[in-house]
Amino acid sequence: MKKGIHTLLLFSFLSFALIGCSSNDDEETEEQRDFAEQAADDDLLLREFLSTHTYNYEDFSSANSPVEFEVDTLAGDAANKTPLIDLVERREVTVNTTDGQSIDHTLYYIVARQGSRLEDRTSIVDSVYLTYRGKLLDGSVFDETTIPVWLDNTSVITGFRYGVSEIAPGTYTQNDDGTIDFENFGQGTFFLPSGLGYFANARSGIPAYSPLYFSVNVLTTNQADHDFDGILSIDEDVDGDGNPFNDDTDGDDIPNYADFDDDGDGVNTIAEYDKDGDGVPDDTDGDGIPDYLDNDND
């Protein structure tokens, strides 16, 4: 069973092309909109959308098999249904922009059916095996995959990384012919402002400054150790703020989770983390800073 999953892991890591890249590159022009104003405008748009639309929640409460998440306008047969705005949960996500501001964003999400393995929800730096569909608020699909793919949460847009971490995977069994059946997995949708998406950078099918929404089926997940030093990527969050992207002990612009040598002392983390093998990080000079984060151990 495990073997099947690892085979999938090895052969499908190449598939995260479409969601990849953050908005923080240097394609900015002088006409780029203000981050805070855009965040406010997008939140208005999202709340208006959520107030005027609903989804096929009846289908999720009864069925046992996967259901496609379908958004519908609150009109006609659906006029008396509960609007999305009364069904969503909210998560606040702060983004540090290229011009040094901290901008707060609200991510809206719905767990249409939660997966059975709550404890195996991803962190924002883990990997997830899923199918997904991405849409603009006008309903047009800009990206989707019906064949499951592995995504590395460090390589996807911010809103996706936070949204998908709310949805738990389920269980799976491997059949004699090598195929895998997934059961009891989580299904959900998250709605994000452009500041948690591509912001000013237009992409194929996505105009600049587009709020987006994604529906996902989270089949299974994997805890990541990007730099293979034996410390899980999420545990390389030295300042404990829940965000491993902002921890860079040696200041070389490579965050610890991706840095083979966190303290830049020339000794790889894996070689100085726990030399005596007692399960506790070594602290040779007893200054309270473990050797792998201390470039002056003596």
Nearer to Ca ion, 43 or 250 (CB): 250
Pattern 235-274, Ca ion, x by CB under 5 A: --x-x-x-x--xxx-x-x-x----x-x-x-x-x-------
- Cβ at position 272, least distance to Ca ion in Å: 5
154, 125 contact by CB (below 8 A): yes
The number of beta carbons lying within 10 Å of the beta carbon of residue 262 is 30
Question: Which residue number places its CB atom closest to Ca ion?
Answer: 259
- Cβ at position 296, least distance to Ca ion in Å: 11
Nearer to Ca ion, 93 or 200 (CB): 93
Name residue 105's amino acid. H
Residue 190: strand, helix, or coil: strand
By the rule CB under 5 A, 294 interacts with Ca ion: no
Tokens 């981050």 locate to 35
Q: Could you tell me if residue 98 is left (phi over 0), alpha (psi between -120 and 50 degrees) or otherwise beta?
A: alpha
Would you state the structure tokens that stand for residue 281, as one six-digit string?
């990080």
Would you state the structure tokens that stand for residue 298, as one six-digit string?
């003596």
Could you give the CA distance from residue 162 to residue 147 in angstroms, rounded to a whole number? 22
Would you state the structure tokens that stand for residue 103, as one six-digit string?
């901008």
By the rule CB under 5 A, 166 interacts with Ca ion: no
By the rule CB under 5 A, 152 interacts with Ca ion: no
By the rule CB under 5 A, 18 interacts with Ca ion: no
Nearer to Ca ion, 78 or 254 (CB): 254
- List residues binding Ca ion (CB under 5 A): 225, 227, 229, 231, 237, 239, 241, 243, 246-248, 250, 252, 254, 259, 261, 263, 265, 267
